[in-house]
Amino acid sequence: MSDTNQQYEAIEHKCQDIFIHKTKDYGTAWRVLRNISIVDQIYIKAQRIRTIQEKGEQKVGNTGDDIASEFIGIINYSIIGLIQMELSENDPEELEVDAVETLYDRYFTAARMLMQSKNHDYGEAWRNMTQESFVDLILMKLQRMRQIISNKGKTLISEGLDANYYDMINYAVFALILMEESKQQ
Tell me the pLDDT tens digit for each residue of 35-71: 999 999 999 999 999 999 998 876 555 656 799 999 9
pTM equals 0.94
Number of domains in the chain: 1
- Over residues 68-88, the mean pLDDT reads 97
Range of the domain at 38: 2-184
Distance of CA 108 to the CA centre of its chain: 9
- Residues ≥6 apart with Cβ < 8 Å to 67: 49, 52, 53, 58, 131, 175, 179
